[in-house]
């Protein structure tokens, strides 16, 4: 008898199932009403659209697009749009649910949504991507809007993509509508500080975790995996607060300096040498990614890719505090093992929520047509991130749980409470 090989689990299914498990855990802790639990397990609205694009050679290609609104119980949906060949309905559903919790844990008056098109934009010209964006926007227009659902950039989309969405909505409605998206160019109503928001948020969450642990920044050694936008801004913020950044890494490799790295100098070096990245920066010793993760530091900030700490290397991690700058950098199995060892993990739905917090600020500014200076954006961001961190860490004591579990408890409780107070229509 020949046994068939089980079909591999698609990453999209895994992401959605993980989000559902986290909801289940929070529901048990809160003794959530079974009907409410079922309601929060299912998206409010799912739209699947056909996105035809005429290529330059006259050939018609048709792509599949999605927009999922998981919950609008606390306000309009909020979430990015990604262009990637691996986009599936299950992935978008899982990401929309996580956006609900990310907005709720930071106490934003927004719900969770996500969108995407199953396409490889790198195989298209810029003009073709523009046509794809505008056709996709026209297809989802019936369910988006500044009081319904506000898209933002995500994988393979950027401020130009958002500008094309603004143009499409304006042309189709006859009304200038910069508030229909966030992550726009400054010239079209984008917010100052949006690019740095996620990294600055990670830094604020890290400093709050250090304060709760009774540790002074000047006595703290930090390793940052990933020196892109999020990692470099995080490193800069922590260095300015007094932390010693002893190791960083990027696509060119890992680099260490036991007495601390000159972060502004490293950022300038990358700016001058974008292809070589940190390679060639004087005064640093070359290390591997594995060595960085295993360094004897107080804080580790994985700010690169998902799945960096797994059951294969979790025993090598020596940091006492881990702050998830990236989405899902720690697998579920490794997360449990680290928690059993007493490692404090500040979870991604809290730690990297600075981006959506400033997206909320941008939405507010665009609706009011009144724009804030950078210092005002950064001041308000710090208030939101520190307040959310303080509440999550306090809930770990109330529920005797990890910060990750506490973050989901806070978020689910807020969303369920809002829905209960509104009542179920009709």
Instruction: Catalogue the active-site residues.
Output: 114
Cα dihedral across residues 308, 310, 316, 318: positive or negative: positive
Question: For residue 67, which of 51, 45, 37, 83 has the smallest C-alpha distance?
Answer: 45
The residues, ordered by sequence, that sit 6+ positions from 272 with a Cβ below 8 Å of its Cβ are none
244-250/221-225 β-pairing: parallel
H/E stretch holding 338 reads helix 332-340
386-to-36, 75, 91, 244 alpha-carbon distances in Å:
29, 22, 30, 21
Strands 285-287 and 253-256: antiparallel
Residues 230 and 202 sit within 8 Å (Cβ to Cβ) = yes
Specify whether the CB–CB gap between 196 and 352 falls below 8 A. no
Distances (CA, A) of 298 to 198, 210, 344: 21, 9, 11
Distances (CA, A) of 128 to 35, 135, 137, 140, 424: 45, 11, 14, 18, 43
Distance CA 219, CA 97 (A): 38
Distance CA 177, CA 366 (A): 9
Residues 6+ apart with CB under 8 A from 173: none
């Amino acid at each position: 008898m020949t046994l068939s090989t089980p079909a591999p689990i698609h990453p999209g299914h895994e992401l959605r199932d993980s989000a559902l498990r986290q909801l289940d855990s929070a529901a048990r802790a809160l003794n959530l009403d079974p009907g409410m639990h079922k309601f929060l397990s299912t998206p409010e609205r799912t739209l699947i659209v056909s996105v035809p694009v005429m290529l330059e050679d006259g050939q018609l290609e048709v792509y599949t697009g999605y927009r999922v609104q998981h919950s609008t119980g606390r306000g309009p949906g909020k979430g990015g749009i990604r262009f990637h060949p691996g986009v599936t309905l299950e992935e978008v559903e899982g990401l929309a649910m996580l956006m609900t919790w990310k907005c709720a844990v930071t106490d934003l008056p927004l719900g969770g949504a996500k969108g995407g098109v199953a396409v490889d934009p790198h195989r298209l010209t810029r003009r073709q991507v523009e046509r794809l964006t505008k056709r996709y926007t026209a297809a989802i227009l019936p369910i988006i809007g500044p009081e319904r659902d506000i898209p933002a950039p995500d994988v393979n989309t950027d401020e130009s993509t958002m500008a094309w969405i603004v143009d499409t909505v304006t042309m189709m409605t006859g009304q200038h509508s910069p508030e229909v998206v966030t992550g726009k160019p400054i010239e079209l109503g984008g917010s100052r500080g949006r690019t740095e928001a996620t990294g600055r948020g990670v830094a604020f969450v890290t400093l709050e975790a250090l304060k709760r642990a009774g540790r002074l920044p000047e006595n703290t050694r930090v390793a940052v995996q990933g020196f892109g936008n999020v990692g470099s801004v995080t490193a800069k913020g922590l260095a300015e607060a007094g932390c010693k950044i002893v190791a960083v890494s990027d696509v060119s490799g890992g680099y260490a300096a036991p007495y601390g790295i000159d972060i502004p100098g490293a950022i300038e070096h990358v700016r001058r040498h974008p292809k070589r990245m940190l390679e060639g920066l004087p005064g640093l010793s070359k290390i591997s990614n594995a060595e960085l993760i295993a360094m004897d530091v107080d804080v580790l900030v994985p700010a690169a890719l998902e799945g960096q700490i797994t059951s294969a290397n979790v025993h090598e991690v020596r940091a006492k505090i881990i702050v998830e700058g990236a989405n899902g950098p720690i697998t579920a199995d490794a997360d449990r093992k680290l928690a059993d060892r007493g490692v404090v993990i500040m979870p991604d739905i809290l730690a990297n929520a600075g981006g959506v917090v400033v997206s909320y600020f941008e939405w507010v500014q665009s609706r009011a047509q009144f724009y804030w200076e950078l210092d005002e954006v950064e001041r308000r961001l710090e208030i939101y991130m520190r307040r959310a961190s303080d509440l999550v860490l306090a809930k770990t004591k109330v529920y005797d749980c990890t910060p990750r579990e506490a973050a989901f408890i806070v978020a689910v409780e807020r969303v369920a409470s809002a829905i209960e107070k509104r009542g179920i229509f009709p």
